[in-house]
Chain A
């Protein structure tokens, strides 16, 4: 039937389009978040254990 054929063509085209979109603009958000966490903790010198109140302003990281 020509309608079924046309319908399947549309489906295949849509699939093709989505595949192209996936390959071209896939931004690895999860991996980027992990990388950001690593760098931020490093640069801001945040510790694993969230720092409690400290009055020692001269406290340096070893």
Chain B
């Protein structure tokens, strides 16, 4: 019994305990500073400027997930519909590419969903930092105007 403990159990436990500590402390900083990620970020930032007037007029709102949502399709002027649809599609595409790229840059493609969820959560918690008058969705999915 004593021999088993000293030759197998204890060393094994110590090794595993040590590797657990090592795994946590050796985890590198979360990388987001790559050329690809920066390019997507910049594209999204520039495109976002075009959404501003729609957010201020209430045509667009910020959804529960933290994405842009057309609250009332009928409120979009006819000659702007195609452009707005295209811009929203592009933004959504970039958003997903961003998550995918961040996961990849950190060596874990399987983290894409976790990253998407993290972004959605962080957007939720900064809803009250959004400008007054913008429309946002609450936890039940109902739209209300930000005070």
Interface residues of A (CB under 8 A from B): 1, 4-5, 8-9, 12, 15-16, 18-19, 22-23, 26-29, 31-46, 50-54, 57, 60
**Identity of the chain A residue whose Cβ is nearest the Cβ of B129 in the assembled complex:** A50
Q: Indicate if B90 sits at the interface (CB-CB under 8 A).
A: no
Total contacting residues, chain B, CB less than 8 A? 43
Question: When the two chains form their complex, are residues A45 and B32 in contact, meaning their CB atoms are under 8 A apart?
Answer: no
| Assembled-state Cα–Cα distance A7/B133 (Å) | 63
Summarize A's interface: helix, strand, loop or mixed. helix
Do A39 and B41 contact each other (CB < 8 Å), given the known contacts A23-B20, A32-B30? yes
| Assembled-state Cα–Cα distance A41/B126 (Å) | 9
Residues of B within 8 A of A51 (CB): 129-132
Contact partner of B32 among A28, A35, A50, A57, CB < 8 A? A35
Do A46 and B129 contact each other (CB < 8 Å), given the known contacts A27-B111, A31-B30? yes
Contact partner of A37 among B29, B66, B122, CB < 8 A? B122
The 8 closest A-B pairs by CB, nearest first: A31-B30, A19-B16, A36-B122, A53-B132, A23-B23, A32-B118, A35-B32, A51-B131
Contact partner of A38 among B32, B111, B115, CB < 8 A? B32
Question: When the two chains form their complex, are residues A12 and B12 in contact, meaning their CB atoms are under 8 A apart?
Answer: yes
12 more A-B contacts (CB under 8 A) besides A26-B27, A28-B30?
A12-B12, A12-B13, A22-B20, A22-B23, A22-B24, A36-B119, A37-B122, A45-B49, A46-B126, A51-B130, A51-B132, A54-B131
